[in-house]
Amino acid sequence: MTIEINLLPWREEKRARRSKRFYVALGGAALLGIAGGYAMTWFYQQQVEVQRQRNAYIETQTRQFDSSIREVGDLETVRDQVIEKVGVFTELQNGRSQTVHVMSDLITSLEEGVHYTQFSRQDDGLRLSGRAEDNGQVSDQLRRLGAAASFTEPVLSGVEAEGGGERRSFSLSMSQRMPATHAEKSSGGTEEERP
């Protein structure tokens, strides 16, 4: 006698359990994949947001630096204007005393028997017209003007006899020497004067 056992329902149950486990595992994996994808998306969004904040901070700082650079440029312009004004004031201050030196040197260099009839000044150029008793006095006057500290070597433009006598009228031109500034005096003179 043989006993027959029907294993079909047991196999069906086992197959159903396997299918159920498979679908549960598949569903779990899908949920885990969706959750992982969402987590990765959230993480990357946070990283992007942090980078946007950094970029915004950098842009803000860049704008502040740009405005600071513009302010520095404006301050440099103001500084240049102030330096230019100081230069003008210094030039005027030096020129103020220079006029006195020019007149003083004109008077002290005046040869006896010579007198000036006309004097004109344009920038650093000086033109003189005058009268002398003879040619020797004109020559002496040129030498004395050349020796004066305020003038360069004078250039005689012309000498004419007046009224048939020895009296002479003359005209000459020369340039004015600029005085040494305080910086040049303290450093031992100008570069041209140094050995």
Question: Both 103 and 136 in a single domain?
Answer: no
Question: Does a structural domain hold residue 186?
Answer: no
Question: What are 193's two structure tokens?
Answer: 């004067």
Cα gap 140→146, rounded to integer Å: 10
Cα gap 146→76, rounded to integer Å: 44
Instruction: Return the H-helix or E-strand segment holding 107.
Output: helix 8-108
Question: Both 21 and 99 in a single domain?
Answer: yes
Question: pTM of this prediction?
Answer: 0.46
Question: Both 54 and 25 in a single domain?
Answer: yes
Answer yes or no: is pLDDT of 86 > 70: yes
Whole domain around residue 158: which residue ranges?
113-175
Number of folded domains that form the chain: 2
- Choosing from 81, 109, 137, the residue where a domain stops is 109
Question: Both 29 and 57 in a single domain?
Answer: yes
Instruction: Name the DSSP letter for residue 30.
Output: H
Question: Does a structural domain hold residue 7?
Answer: no
User: Using one digit for the tens of pLDDT, what is the confidence trace for 91-123?
Assistant: 877 777 777 778 888 888 888 888 888 888 887
Question: Both 99 and 118 in a single domain?
Answer: no
Cβ atoms of 157 and 171 within 8 Å: the answer is yes
Give the closest residue to 154 by CA, choosing from 141, 134, 172: 172
Question: Does a structural domain hold residue 150?
Answer: yes
Cβ atoms of 167 and 131 within 8 Å: the answer is yes
Question: What are 37's two structure tokens?
Answer: 């994808």
Question: Does a structural domain hold residue 99?
Answer: yes
For residue 122, the one-letter residue type is Q
Question: Both 101 and 119 in a single domain?
Answer: no
Question: Both 70 and 131 in a single domain?
Answer: no
The predicted model gives 1-14 an average pLDDT of 74
